[in-house]
Amino acid sequence: MKFPLRINYKERFIPNVLITVLGLRSIRPILVAIDTGSDTTILSYKDANTLQIPVKDMSTVKKIYGIGKDEVELCEYKKGLVFSLKDESNKTSRIKLDRIYISKDKEGANITIIGIDFLKDNNFSLYYNPNGQAYLEKDDLDKNIDQVKEKEK
C-alpha cells in the first residue's frame, strides 16, 4: 500500500502530505512535513490551536533545538490523535498516535513534523526522489492501520 506525498513546501524539497486529524474537539486537515532528522513527531502550536488543544495549560516536558538552533519547549499530549491518510487508490487509512509532542513556540515553523518515531511505530518505508515521486509504503497485511472506505460523493 502506497501513500503519495508531495515534495515541495515553501520552495523547500520536503516530503509532505495533507492529512486529517481527529483532535480533542474537531476534525481538521493539516499539512505535515516528514523530517527524517527528527526522532519525534511534533504537532505545531498553530495546528494544536486549530484542533482546539489547550497548549497554554500544558506543562513543558522537554526541550529541543530547532533548525535555527533556537530552543523549543515541547509538551506531551497523552490523549492521542488519529491521523487519516489517503492511499494511491484514494482509500483512507486511520493511524492512531497514543502520545504526541506539541510545540509551545507560537512563532515557530508552524508546520507539524512527522518524525522517525511515526515511521517506525507504523512500519512505514519512505521513498523519496526530489526529482518527482515520493510516497510512504506499508505492507497491506499490517494490522496497525484501520482501512476505511471513503464515502462516495
Whether 6 and 16 have beta carbons less than 8 Å apart is answered as: yes
Distance, in Å, from the CA atom of 133 to the CA atom of 63, rounded to the nearest integer, reads 34
**Residue 67 burial (CB count, 10 A):** 9
Task: Say if 142 falls within a structural domain.
Answer: yes
30-63 tens-digit pLDDT: 888 888 888 888 898 888 888 888 887 777 777 7
For residue 16, what are the domain limits? Answer: 2-148
Domain tally for the chain? Answer: 1
pLDDT mean for each 10 residues of the chain (153 residues) = 77 58 68 84 88 80 71 84 84 83 81 88 86 80 45 38
* CATH code (residue 18): 2.40.70.10
Residue 39 DSSP class:
S
CA within 13 Å, CB half, 71: 4
In a domain, 141, yes or no: yes
Any domain includes 153: no
